Amino acid sequence: MTFDEGQGYAVLATLAAPLLAALILVFIPGTQKMAVRYVAAFFGAVMLGLSIYVFVAYQVDGEQIQMSLKWVWVENTAFLGKDGIVLNLAVDGISAPMALLTGVVAFAGTITSWKINYRNKDFFILYFILLAGVYGTFFSFDLFFWFFFYELAVMPLYLLIGVWGSTRKEYGAMKLTLMLVGGSVLIWIGIFAVFNEANLGTFDMQRLFAAGNDGTLSPTFQKVFFPMFVVGCGVLAALWPFHTWSPDGHMSAPTAVSMVHAGVLMKLGAFGIIRLGIQMLPVGAEFWMPGLMVLGVTGAVYGATAALTQRDFKLISGYSSVSHMGYVLMGLATMNQIGITGAVLQMFSHGVMTALVFLMIGALYDQAHTRDMKDFGGIAKVMPMWVVFYAIAGLANVGLPGLSGFTAEFHIFVGTFQTYPVFGALAIFAAALAATYMLRMFSMVFFGPFNPRWKDLKDLTPLEAMAGALLIASIVVMGVWWAPFTDRIGTTVAALPGVVG
């Protein structure tokens, strides 16, 4: 067993941990609510540990793809040739930080869900299946399994929102699921088209990437199918104008699901654009990127503008997610090393800070049962820690230096200015709008005269504080010392086809 192979098992373990958790939970009686919680928290911690290991163990100056582990699933039958469908797990410089993000957010979400009392066994089973899907998507280098895990991550959402959600949950869950599945259909068609066009009889991504580069996938084909992947994945990444599930979905989703969904799942979409779009169809990417840039900028400005006058916390966060994911798409569309690195940084940054925001919203909503900002005022008096945590998340959203949002946005802006200065300026302007809506919320909710209706509100519980502290630590580390991230992402991004140094 070589070193690399051993690490491959670490990746496998990271993927298997949530599945194992779900399996164990199946055998715990639903009435044993505390046992369920302990098991969930234990596996959350295991996932966090393994994710950190995967991130740290990724060798910065090693090969692009490390910790590889292959297990042939089906080959040499009917239409499949050698290595037809292979469970091919590996990590590259982009998925390493994404795995870390998943670990952090998943753990925070797990301990946040401690207080769920209604059918918490079923909740955690679905929750862990979702997480397994997320990990699998980040780790898979096989198109078939990539899509399998992608769907595995999306499907449990319907139940998680529909059963444990709040405000208009059926509508939110249905809309979200239908839109995401609509996107999946496009991806699925695209995957088969690529399989057919490459005619290699394999779903191995690396061979298909090579096919995309050496012209086996003809330029015309790439130009036709690139939009399919971008729209299909873009739905999940809140690509304008396919973003409307985001405000409604977030409004209905329970706290932990909002955290994981906005924190990690939305990143799957952007990740898919990198994997399926840029890596597999480089010619198509080059052709369509200006269009994606326009959509990204539109989303960034549009989301920020719409957030200005919202009154529901979650709607603000939903729209601000649209805006921030717009930055991610802009970063990807720059097609230069700094911009795409910035996009991946933003994926991480938006993940942790949005998770924190939803954690805070949940902590308030569970007590206040309203999310209308007009009802609040002077909450800092009764929930000081909550306010500090939320403020940090909000300021990270705004792009305050020293917090992760700035690091990411800065790289995106620099990357965008390299190719599209005007769009870059617009994006910076949208960041100023972000300051406006965030501060508007701060002053409406946190500050001002205290509304005595809320005198009984309790501050964060120790568990929530722990989850929040973990997320804040990630935000601050990335905001101050971003070299570990850029080292990993930058080299991998440089190796992407068509990317300018």
Partner 1 sequence: MGAEQAWLLAAIPAGVFFVLALFGRYLPRGGDYLGVAAIGASFVLFFFVAADFLSFYDFEAHKTFITESISWSEIGNFKLRQGIHVDAITIVMFAVITTVSLMVNIFSVGYMKGEPRYYWFFAVLQLFVASMLLLVMADNLLLVYISWELVGVCSFLLIGFYWEKRSATEAAKKAFITTRIGDVGLLIGIILLWKETGTFDIQQIIHAAEAGEIGQTYLFVSIMFVFLGCMGKSAQFPFHVWLPDAMEGPTPVSALIHAATMVVAGVYLTARLLPIFEAADGALLVVTIVGLTTALLASLIAFAQTDIKRVLAYSTVGKLGLMFVALGAGSPAAGLFLLMTHAFVKALLFLGSGSVILGTHHNQEMDKLGGLWKKMPITGTTFFVATLALAGLPPLAMFWSEDELFASVNHEWGLWALVLAMLAVFATAIFMVRLFIRTFAGEPRDRQVHEHARETPLVMTGPLVFLCVLAVVSGLFVFNGVGSALGFPGGIGEFVFLEEPERYAIDWTLAGISLAVAVAGVLIGAYVYWGNSLVRSTRLAEAMPRLYAALRNKFYIDEMYQYVIDRGVLGVSYVVSWFDRYVVNDTGVDGSAQVTGYSGSILKYLQTGRVPNYAMAITLGVVGLTVAGLLVRA
H-state helical runs in 242-336: 245-252, 255-260, 266-272, 282-307, 313-334
Q: x-or-dash pattern for partner 1, window 302-331, by CB under 8 A?
A: x--xxxxxx---------------------
Count CB-CB contacts under 10 A for residue 429: 13
Q: Is 482 exposed, middle or buried (0-12, 13-18, 19+ CB in 10 A)?
A: buried
Of 69-77, 110-118, 135-143, 415-423, the window that binds partner 1 (rule: CB under 8 A) is 415-423
Beta bridge partners of 204: 142
Of 115-123, 127-135, 263-271, 402-410, the window that binds partner 1 (rule: CB under 8 A) is 402-410
Q: How far apart are CA 246 and CA 175, in angstroms?
A: 10
Beta bridge partners of 69: 89
For partner 1, the binding residue among 449, 455, 456, 462 (CB under 8 A) is: 449
Residue 494 found at the interface with partner 1 (CB under 8 A): yes
For partner 1, the binding residue among 428, 463, 469, 477 (CB under 8 A) is: 428
For partner 1, the binding residue among 406, 420, 423, 454 (CB under 8 A) is: 406
Q: Which two tokens stand for residue 267?
A: 């990143």
**Which residues are CB-contacts of 56 (< 8 A; sequence separation ≥ 6)?**
none
By beta-carbon proximity to partner 1, the closer residue of 35 and 439 is: 439
Q: Whose CA is closest to 8, among 73, 66, 47?
A: 66
Q: How far apart are CA 474 and CA 239, in angstroms?
A: 26
By beta-carbon proximity to partner 1, the closer residue of 118 and 429 is: 429
For partner 1, the binding residue among 26, 74, 432, 473 (CB under 8 A) is: 432
Residue 447 found at the interface with partner 1 (CB under 8 A): yes
- Output Rg (C-alpha) for the chain, integer angstroms: 21
Shortest spacing between CB 494 and partner 1, in angstroms:
6
Q: How far apart are CA 438 and CA 402, in angstroms?
A: 17
Q: How far apart are CA 172 and CA 323, in angstroms?
A: 20
By beta-carbon proximity to partner 1, the closer residue of 8 and 247 is: 247
Of 48-56, 79-87, 325-333, 481-489, the window that binds partner 1 (rule: CB under 8 A) is 481-489
By beta-carbon proximity to partner 1, the closer residue of 332 and 395 is: 395
Residue 70 found at the interface with partner 1 (CB under 8 A): no
Shortest spacing between CB 428 and partner 1, in angstroms:
5
Residue 185 found at the interface with partner 1 (CB under 8 A): no
By beta-carbon proximity to partner 1, the closer residue of 59 and 216 is: 59
Q: Which two tokens stand for residue 371?
A: 């999310």
Residue 206 found at the interface with partner 1 (CB under 8 A): no
For partner 1, the binding residue among 148, 450, 466, 498 (CB under 8 A) is: 450
Residue 168 Cα to chain centre, angstroms: 24
Considering only residues 226 to 255 of the shown chain, the ones binding partner 1 according to CB under 8 A are 241, 243-245, 247-248
Residue 62 found at the interface with partner 1 (CB under 8 A): no
By beta-carbon proximity to partner 1, the closer residue of 113 and 336 is: 336
Number of amino acids touching partner 1 (CB under 8 A): 60
Contacts 24+ apart (CB under 8 A), 159-164: 159/126, 160/123, 160/126, 160/127, 160/130, 160/253, 160/254, 160/257, 161/249, 161/252, 161/253, 161/254, 161/257, 163/119, 163/122, 163/123, 164/116, 164/118, 164/119, 164/123, 164/254, 164/257
Q: Whose CA is closest to 361, among 420, 265, 445, 426?
A: 445
For partner 1, the binding residue among 378, 382, 463, 477 (CB under 8 A) is: 378
Count CB-CB contacts under 10 A for residue 125: 23
Residue 400 found at the interface with partner 1 (CB under 8 A): yes
Q: Which residues bind partner 1 (CB under 8 A)?
A: 175, 178-179, 241, 243-245, 247-248, 302, 305-310, 337-338, 341, 378, 380-381, 395, 400-402, 406, 410-411, 413-414, 417-418, 421, 424-425, 428-429, 431-432, 435-436, 439-440, 442-443, 446-450, 482-483, 486-487, 489-490, 493-494, 501
